[in-house]
Amino acid sequence: MGDCRHLKKYLRLQGDKIMEFDQTRFYEQLQVRKTSIEQHLQRYLPVEAYPPVIHQAMNYAVSNGGKRLRPIMTAEGAILAGKPAQMVIPTACAIEMIHCYSLVHDDLPAMDDDDLRRGQPTCHIVYGEANAILTGDALLSRAFELMALNAAEPGIDPRNVVRAIEEVARAIGSTGMIGGQVLDLQWEGQQIRLEDLQRLHLLKTGALFQAALKAGAILAGMSGEPLKALDNYTRHFGLAFQISDDILDVSGDQEIIGKPVGSDQKNQKTTYVSLFGLEAARELARQSVEECHNALCGFGEEADFLRDLACFALLRES
């Protein structure tokens, strides 16, 4: 649970009404969605497939307790377009597999060289470096297989499947997530300017959030202005999420965040906290949440969960 003492500050705008963020209700809704995604992920990653080691490692990389925010966003994208979340579940699971692949590779000795992820030994610690590289590759391949399989879901127009795949592929490629990772490696140990920090995170973290939400909406037939509004939402969401990541790295609880506190400072990374200090970083994140809510002003109650998710980006403890 987040810190309830700050709750009053986190209000969400809905039309001209100001609603208080009901944290208890939100956490219940989040848990229901997370459980559903995890059940589907199990179904799409059969641990007993051959050869055993790679399937066990894929399962390990995916089943170790993430928040599942990206696949939840994909499902919400369908709901915003007036369609059932069920319709986009293969793509939602694909997005989580892509996220998990990026974490497995990010933890490798050649990248961030981390021993702990989500509070447990990283994939390469358990399965060895070569298997961890292959695990990431296999998760990425399975993700594209699942996105293609989404065409078989009732009510799906196959042309929208192609559009969604294009959106995701672009977001995670060299001008998206991979590009962000390259900048991160390139600027390691250097103090960088705010514009560079923003660019890095927009690519490394923001692009996948953006594709996650938009892929669900595109599959469910959304286009035009509403889709642009989702672009805006995810851009600000990614920023709020990243700033809170930086804040957690300074003031989080190691047991809850599942990795050592202070790693950004140890790795001499420029963060929103190192540039602005803790309080100003919090204020920046709060402004981003407001921008998330502004982006959703054209939607009604169907966007309430996403409004609350933006508040959660700020209140989260892990």
CB of 245 to ligand GRG, least distance (A): 5
- Nearest distance from C-beta of residue 199 to ligand GRG, angstroms: 14
Select from 250, 239, 244 the least CA-distant residue to 197. Answer: 239
Q: Which of residues 149-178 bind ligand GRG (CB under 6 A)?
A: 177-178
Alpha helices in 150-270 (DSSP H): 158-172, 177-186, 194-201, 207-219, 224-251, 254-257, 263-266
Question: In this chain, which stretch among 42-50, 62-70, 76-84, 300-308 interacts with ligand GRG, using CB under 6 A?
Answer: 62-70
Site for ligand GRG in 234-253 (CB under 6 A): 245
Residue 177 or residue 218: which is nearer to ligand GRG going by CB?
A: 177
Whether a cis peptide bond, with omega within 30° of 0, leads into 51 is: yes
Q: Which amino acid is at 259?
A: K
User: What are the percentages of helix, strand and coil residues in the chain, rounded to 5?
Assistant: 70, 5, 25
Diameter of the chain by CA atoms? 57
Q: Interface with ligand GRG by CB under 6 A: which range of 21-29, 76-84, 97-105, 218-226? A: 97-105
* CB-based contact 88:78 (threshold 8 Å): yes
Min dist CB 220 to ligand GRG, Å, is: 23
> Measured from the CB of residue 69, what is the shortest distance to ligand GRG in angstroms?
5
Residue pair 96/139 in contact (Cβ under 8 Å)? The answer is no
Question: In the complex, which residue's CB is closest to ligand GRG?
Answer: 66
> Of 1-9, 102-110, 122-130, 280-288, which segment contacts ligand GRG by CB under 6 A?
102-110
Question: How far is it, in rounded angstroms, from Cα 103 to Cα 16?
Answer: 40
94 binds ligand GRG (CB under 6 A): no
How many of the other CB atoms lie within 10 Å of CB of 233?
A: 28
Instruction: Rule CB under 6 A: choose which of 23, 91, 102, 135 binds ligand GRG.
Output: 102
Could you give the C-alpha distances from 284 to 201, 236, 237, 289, in angstroms and in order? Answer: 15, 10, 12, 9
The minimum distance between CB 86 and ligand GRG, in angstroms, equals 22
76 vs 95: CA distance, rounded Å: 13
Shortest approach of ligand GRG to residue 37 CB, angstroms? 11
Torsion sign across C-alpha atoms 106, 112, 118, 120? positive
Tokens 């993700």, residue located: 143
Site for ligand GRG in 194-233 (CB under 6 A): 204-205
Return the residue of 9, 43, 67, 228 that touches ligand GRG, per CB under 6 A: 67
Helices (H), 115-203: 123-127, 129-149, 158-172, 177-186, 194-201
Nearer to ligand GRG by Cβ, of 79 and 208: the residue is 208
Whichever of 88 and 103 has its CB closer to ligand GRG, that residue is: 103
Binding residues for ligand GRG restricted to 106-135, rule: CB under 6 A: 106, 111, 118
- Integer Cα distance of 240 and 251 in angstroms: 16
State which of residues 37, 57, 69, 306 lies at the interface with ligand GRG (CB under 6 A): 69
Per-residue binder mask for ligand GRG (CB under 6 A), 7-46, x = binder:
----------------------------------------
Binding site for ligand GRG (CB under 6 A): 66-67, 69, 99, 102-103, 105-106, 111, 118, 177-178, 181, 204-205, 245
